[in-house]
Amino acid sequence: MQITKLSFKKMTPMVEVWLDNSLGFTCHLDLVLKYQLETGMTLTEDVLESLRQDQLSLEAWHKALRYCLSRTRTVTEVKRYLSSKEVDTDLANSILARLVQDYELDDLKAVIEYDEQNRGRMGRRRIRSDLQRRGVSGSVIDAALGGRDAEDREAEELEAALALARKKIASDRGDDPGKVAMRVIGLLQRKGYSQGLIRKVADTLELKLY
């Protein structure tokens, strides 16, 4: 089949390739340059199939890149995303390897960032649970979070829990103290704070639990 026209789309890197005066396919400009496509060139079925596979690979790569750039992702999240887009396993693995090497796709980095963003409003159990749901292994979570001084982390966590409790108490001011206390406890439990820390909050604020 012969290329009869190349139509460059405005404001995009996509090019329409016309074969024998009919639209044959659309591909990325990178492929036009790679295959040195030009008007009058004859394409065999093997070349056409190679172009189609390269275009699919490029589309999968750009989707994965956009997904990673929207926020910090874990390796498992990217795997799940590519699977949902029905990307071939071998291609998905090559994309993951490229993201790890060139774009800092790293579970350790994701854990540290998530902890820094949320430790002021979540307990350790909630943070760990969220990260495990995102596919991060327990050993990676421990490696990322274990480096911080345990006492400093506990003090910081207690301060955050106290701030949440005080805010809840203020919003429910005037209600029965016992009910308010139970709401505070429920809130802290949902945020993933340990029972021991919740008891410290209750003691500090003199909550009437019974």
pLDDT per position as a tens digit, 153-186: 677 778 878 888 888 888 888 788 888 888 888 8
Which pLDDT belongs to residue 125? 83
Q: Using CA atoms, how far apart are residues 10 and 28, in angstroms rounded to an integer?
A: 13
H-helix or E-strand spanning residue 186? helix 177-190
Q: Using CA atoms, how far apart are residues 22 and 31, in angstroms rounded to an integer?
A: 19
AA letter at 123: G
pTM, two decimals, is 0.68
On whether the CB atoms of residues 118 and 127 are closer than 8 A, the answer is yes
On whether the CB atoms of residues 96 and 79 are closer than 8 A, the answer is yes
Could you say which DSSP state residue 21 is in? T
Could you say which DSSP state residue 9 is in? P
Q: Using CA atoms, how far apart are residues 110 and 191, in angstroms rounded to an integer?
A: 20
Of 114, 121, 208, nearest to 159 by C-alpha is 121
Residues 57, 95, 116: CA angle, nearest 5 degrees: 135
Q: Token pair of 120, please?
A: 């002021």
Which pLDDT belongs to residue 58? 92
What residues in the chain have per-residue pLDDT under 50?
Answer: none
Could you say which DSSP state residue 200 is in? H
On whether the CB atoms of residues 60 and 87 are closer than 8 A, the answer is yes
Q: Token pair of 28, please?
A: 């990325």
